[in-house]
Structure 1
Amino acid sequence: MCRKAGTFGEDQYDPRLSGGAATTFNASSKAFGDCVTGLSEWDNHIHSLGDAASEATFVAPPAAVHPGLGPIFNNVSCKSCHHNDGKGSPTFGTVTSSMLTRLSLPGTDEHGGPVAVPGFGLQLQDLANVGKQPEGKVSLTYVDIPFTYPDGNIATLHKPTYTILHQYMPLPGNVMRSPRMAPPFFGLGLLENIPESTIKSFADENDADGDGISGRPNYVWDPVQQKMMLGRFGMKANTATLLTQTASAYQQDMGVTSYVFPQESSTGQQQFDGRNDDPELPDSILNAVVYYLRTLCVPARRDVTLPNVKNGEALFTQVGCASCHKPTLYTGINETLPVVSNQRIHPYTDLLLHDLGDGLADGRPDFVANGNEWKTPALWGVGLFEKTNGIPYYLHDGRARSLEEAILWHSGEAEKSKQAFVHLPSGDRQALIIFLKSL
């Protein structure tokens, strides 16, 4: 007789396989740059082309190789921000910087998105080609805030202040600003392949179950599909696909146009170069970079059998962190990319928007997302940030220098979980951090 296959018990899965078949056991400083296995020779070639293109340094046109930079921009290559395919660091205004500042005015555009600032657009470009003027420069300062646990232990939080200086023209008084640090590259193909129905099933916008968690999806306008779609990428889930996310980064971060965004970010401004060379990025290169991002592995978990790690994992669920940072998800069927298809993965995210309180608020809406909401970031790989990127920085703007600080910045929907963490014995708090470092 033919019968339907049963499901495996939890103890029959390997907890190290964070990305399912798209997992790498490389734990070196290059852990985030491995390609998934099982690609054809041709697909491996396309992945390699995308890898090389993501490292390419653009220069001002005209040029024989990699022209198109500027005339205003934030960086000169993809990996100048996304160091070792990982996160950036909270610095502005140089070619090693990894930060940008989103801008907008109150209200919504014709698609429900943020309103561009006349003369500046939706992003402040703080660098420019020779003979052109940056839109402005960002000054970043910190104030230390002590935090005292109930048991008397003290932590120190780093509160940032951002000031826009040397504006090429005055910004409106009601402009809204939001600093962002470059997120990691790896695992994006898996996140793109999580079914929309799965993400929507986690939403509880009116907190019907009374647990204080009311996540909701963002819906955004996609310029390629010409329709509203579920947002998955960006700090506020304000982009629906990796193609749009990548093309937007080329245009906004580097000033390089493509078939997705064929107009310069400086169009209509005094910095506009007036060249008739758009789009500047060949379709084949853009598509290769997108394929590269879709086919990067997720690093395996480490030390999963250690008692402290197992205790910390239980505490992670006990204090409520897993309510938003969902440990286990399943990707959908993708006939064009089997390596990310039908995989059991452990990203520790629900890809939903959550109110994290006034302390982390940027006050800038982005489609459905309000000024207090952020998308739950995936936690896979966080334990390797120190090895891959030097000093590890966390949260949307890198203000947290440790995982402990990142937890202590949580509020709003996460206040109950934070308080549960704060009131744990010191050893249990440390165990929870040790667990996070195993991811």
Structure 2
Amino acid sequence: MKDTSSLFLASCFSTVMLSAAGAQPDRYIAITDDPHLDVIPRTAAETARIAKVLAPPHDFNTPQRFEDLPGGAATVRVKPDADAFSQPSGNIGFEEELLFKVGNGLFRKIWVSSPSSTLASDGLGPLYNARSCQRCHIKDGRGHPPAPDDDNAVSMFLRISIPDETAGIADIQDYLGTAPDPTYGTQLQDFALPGLPAEYRLQIDYSDRPVTFADGTTIVLRDPTYTAADLGYGPLHPQAMLSPRVAPQMIGLGLLEAIPAADIIALADPDDADGDGISGRPNVIWSAEFDRPMLGRFGLKAGAPTVMQQSAGAFAGDMGISNPLFSDPFGECSTIQDACRKAPHGAGDVRGFEIDQEGLDLVVYYSRNLAVPARRNVDDPQVLRGKQVFYDTGCAACHQPSFVTHRLNDRPEQSFQLIWPHTDMLLHDMGPGLADNRPEAVASGTEWRTAPLWGIGLTQQVSGHTLFLHDGRARSLMEAILWHGGEAQPARDRILAMPEPDRDALIAYLESL
């Protein structure tokens, strides 16, 4: 089994849930605070004002106040090119912008193998998926599956795990036991340094799945099958579970991190007590930073609690770069991959790690402050009609339009901002069509975190494609909607039944976000 730091340790979960079978919010009392934030508590007057501001709209003839500023005061004007997602927070100071630019340099830096004369840039691999953060998060936007004639899956990979019966703790009913694959660990790497085999080649085969609207219009969805081909270290474990992951867009991460955990958990309804068919619940993740359970916020299944842990995990898993949270200099190499473990690494110099805390802090600062661009056409009649369709159809039940962030002592860019991310940050059962059948901490094999929708209308401009969902299978926003099942099935069925002008209005609204 791989000797790697786990994002969640089953033995530690005995303190996570005070009453795993109890009613919310007692069920999640252990993760309602925010140890990663220096919070100024809200006053009673602020709490009342926030409740009023976040109330659902009753008038769809005009935009809501500040709706055109999805990132609050951190919102920026829309650049007309592929750099629209690469701007610093609109309320950032001059000195802080310099930090942002240095962090951007590290985010874009190409790592090289050891030994190297460039000691600050060596330590790549020995197994890896990309040589820089930017190689996956191209222009800070969405990744994509490999094209049929291109095996270079630089922005997509497969997570892997096997069932772990020993991890099922009786008093933690929601925790789903998993363990790394004994040979391949928790992530399959499709590149390796010279002299070593890569772990696999990602193979995707698509089949057609036609869907017909009530008016007779038909859309053909593409249904993917994933294969870990050309395995470099022998067969997968017989019970190996694979999950495809495309790199998500990077904007607004610091703002999502600053939403009070209690506000997110207040939206949870794990037992559907209100009977609306929506039963979102938080993921519970062990924090490598704070040595305690925390609310999962980042990743496609909310598998990381902070931008710091998400970034450190990506350095280790995607590039094999050791850091203060994930310190193995050989990255994801298992004990079975002996030559990989014994390969030269870059952790032997004064840094102590291949990227030290100072470097990691700069990358995290950059990631937290990638700004959300302003809304477009917010007062257009068709967009306003689409907004009403969005609410009437039930989309807003999961894609929660707005939050107010914590008031913070040390992060003015994210402090006390009214934001419009269109996500509740919770896990939802999306049905068998989107299931990867691979648990992650509390998340089941059919659950995914509600994806933020801000910036989604700029995907073509930034990323050069319109591929959506966790694996890029959907070639348009409408295809993405039609893949929704499970808790979202009633909303999907309403869209199938609606006339074309309402469907067009809904897409116009989404493209304005």
What is the TM-score of this pair, normalised by structure 1? 0.96
| Cα distance between partner residues in 1 of 2:76 and 2:214 | 40
- Cα distance in 1 for partners of 2:502, 2:475 equals 20
The answer as to 2:106 corresponding to 1:53 is yes
**Pairwise CA distance, 1:145:** 1.5
For residues 119-157 of structure 1, the C-alpha deviation after alignment (integer angstroms, 9 at most, x for no partner) is 111000111010011111111121122111111001110
**Could you give the per-residue CA deviations for residues 171-194 of structure 1, whole angstroms, max 9, x where no partner exists?**
111100100000011100000000
For 2:145, the equivalent position in structure 1 comes to: 90
- Asked if the contact 1:74/1:95 (under 8 Å) is kept, the reply is no
- Matching residue's letter, 2:424: D
The letter for the 2-side match of 1:253 is D
Amino acid at match of 1:315: V
Contact 1:71 1:273 in 2 (8 A): no
Aligned-pair CA distance for 1:38: 3.5
Aligned partner of 1:152 in structure 2 is 216
Residue of structure 1 in register with 2:316 after alignment: 251
Whether 2:217 is the aligned partner of 1:143: answer: no
Query: What is the CA-CA distance between 1:100 and the residue it aligns to?
Result: 1.0
The letter for the 2-side match of 1:265 is E
Kindly provide the CA deviation profile for residues 350-400 of structure 1, in whole angstroms up to 9, marking residues without a partner as x. 000000000000000000000000000000000000110011110000000
Deviation at 1:166, TM superposition (A): 1.4
How many angstroms apart in 2 are the aligned matches of 1:37 and 1:419? 39
Specify the SS of the correspondent of 2:85: helix
Residue 37 of structure 1, CA deviation: 3.2
Report which stretch shifted further, 176-185 or 275-284: 275-284
Residue pairs, 1:2-401, within 5 angstroms = 7=49, 13-28=65-80, 29-65=82-118, 66-91=121-146, 97-107=154-164, 114-167=178-231, 168-263=233-328, 264-268=331-335, 269-270=337-338, 271-275=340-344, 277-278=346-347, 279-401=353-475
2:477–2:507 Cα contact (<8 Å) kept = yes
Alignment of 1:397-412 (within 5 A): 397-412=471-486
CA drift of 1:96 comes to 6.2
3-state secondary structure, aligned to 1:312: helix
- Given the superposition, is the C-alpha separation of residues 4 and 191 from structure 1 closer, same or farther in structure 2, using an over 3 Å criterion? closer
CA distance in 1, matches of 2:185, 2:151: 21
Q: Which moved more, 1:30-39 or 1:53-62?
A: 30-39
Alpha-carbon distance in 2 for matches of 1:247, 1:91? 25
**Secondary structure in 2 matching 1:32:** coil
User: Aligned partners of 1:170 and 1:95: how far apart in 2?
Assistant: 22
Inter-partner Cα distance in structure 2 for 1:39 and 1:381 = 20
| 2: CA distance, partners of 1:79 / 1:95 | 15
Measured in 1, the distance between the counterparts of 2:405 and 2:396 equals 19
3-state DSSP of counterpart to 1:60: coil
Residue 273 of structure 2: SS of its match in structure 1? coil
Matched positions, count: 437
Aligned partners of 1:343 and 1:109: how far apart in 2?
A: 43
Q: Does the CA-based 8 Å contact 2:73-2:91 persist in structure 1?
A: no
Write out per-residue CA displacement over residues 329-357 of structure 1, whole angstroms, 9 at most, x where no aligned residue. 11112211111111100000000000000
Query: What percent identity do the matched residue pairs reach?
Result: 42
- What CA distance in whole angstroms lies between the structure 1 residues aligned with 2:101 and 2:117? 21
State whether residues 141 and 248 of structure 2, in contact with CA within 8 Å, keep that contact through their aligned partners in structure 1.
yes
Gaps of 5+ in 2: 1-43, 58-62, 170-174, 348-352
Distance 2:290 2:165 in 1: 20
Contact 2:74 2:91 in 1 (8 A): no
Structure 1 unaligned runs (5+)? none
Following the alignment from structure 1 to structure 2, what is the Cα–Cα distance between the partners of residues 122 and 61?
A: 24
Deviations along 1:382-421, one digit per CA (max 9) or x if unpaired, are: 0000110011110000000100000000000000000111
Q: Between 111-120 and 176-185, report the one with greater CA deviation.
A: 111-120
1:160-210 deviation per Cα after TM superposition (whole angstroms, max 9, x unaligned): 111111112111111001000000111000000000000001000000110
- Quote the Cα distance in structure 2 between the aligned partners of 1:123 and 1:229: 23
Letter in 1 for 2:89: V
- DSSP 3-state at the match of 2:401: coil
Report the aligned-residue RMSD: 1.9
2:131 & 2:214 partners in 1: Cα distance?
Answer: 47
Q: Distance in 2 between matches of 1:391 and 1:40?
A: 33
**For residue 174 of structure 1, what is the amino acid of its counterpart?**
Q
CA offset at residue 97 of structure 1?
A: 1.8
- Amino acid of the residue matched to residue 338 of structure 1? P
User: Partners of 1:72 and 1:395 in 2: how far apart?
Assistant: 26
Higher deviation after alignment, 64-73 or 425-434: 64-73
Distance 1:304 1:40 in 2: 28
Partner Cα separation in structure 1 for residue 67 and residue 230 of structure 2 = 51
TM-score for the superposition, normalised by structure 2: 0.82
Change (3 A) 1:43 1:114: farther
Whole-Å separation in 2 of the counterparts to 1:341 and 1:78: 27
Cα distance in 2 for partners of 1:109, 1:174 equals 15
**Distance in structure 1 (CA, Å) of the matches to 2:115 and 2:78:** 40
Q: 1:203 to 1:385 in 2, by over 3 A?
A: same
**Distance (Å, rounded) in 2 between the aligned partners of 1:251 and 1:416:** 40
| CA–CA distance in structure 1, aligned partners of residues 325 and 312 of structure 2 | 6
| CA distance, structure 2, for counterparts of residue 60 and residue 350 of structure 1 | 41
Give the conservation status (yes or no) of the 8 Å contact 2:182–2:334: no
Aligned to 2:5: none
**Pairwise CA distance, 1:109:** 7.0
1:230-265 deviations in Å (ceiling 9; x for gaps): 000000001101111001101100111111101121
